[in-house]
Amino acid sequence: MDSLLSGLSVSVPESGVLDPVSLIPNKKEYWLEIGFGGGEHLAHQGGLHKDAGIIGCEPYIHGIAALLKHIDDNKLDNIRIYQQDARLLLDALLPQSISRAFILYPDPWPKARHHKRRLVSKPTLDALARVMKKGAELRLASDDEDYCTWMLEQLQAHDAFTWTAKSCNDWLNPWGDWLSTRYEQKALAAGRVPTYLIFRRSA
């Protein structure tokens, strides 16, 4: 697995500017998943969308090892891995280079004094707005009701993103190519109800 990781690992170049094309050439578009957990969803997307190059961000080695197994088992060649804080990658990515981004079940940091640590925040959204193409999708999911409210408040207050929902079905049901992960299955078994959000990068 170490040899596989060495070929897939992403680092920010000395120039401080990273073009996804240099990582995964000859792809139609480039996607980003921030915090891929066990990698099930990321590998699923990579297998379904071979014409997309996908960068996954995850600092925890157990999640990285799980994703590497998915990549190896399914012979996926369109996924790369960034092992540090995703915000460092967002700062380096070429402007308007990402066509889709995923933030799925991020840590809700439920205590009020920890809210400043929440990933979905104005600084992160500013960085995403810079790297996402006009019309690009930002897909989010959470099983924490308070955090879902927080995400909606943060995104609807940001002028770079527009909520695509037309009815309650749009946030109660996942998108068509969704894969329910082990984490989500545990949440459902515990009686928690996931919310699925799609925001579009405004023109």
Query: Which residues are marked as active site?
Result: 107
| SS3 assignment for 65-131 | HHHHHHHHHHCCCCEEEECCCHHHHHHHECCCCEEEEEEECCCCCCCHHHHHHCCCCHHHHHHHHHH
Determine contact, residues 134/95, Cβ cutoff 8 Å: no
Q: Which amino acid is at 47?
A: G
Per DSSP, 167 falls in state S
Determine contact, residues 43/70, Cβ cutoff 8 Å: yes
Give the three-state DSSP class for 42.
Answer: helix
Determine contact, residues 198/174, Cβ cutoff 8 Å: no
Q: What is the DSSP string of 26-37?
A: S-SEEEEEE--T
Counting Cα atoms < 13 Å in the Cβ hemisphere of 116 gives: 1
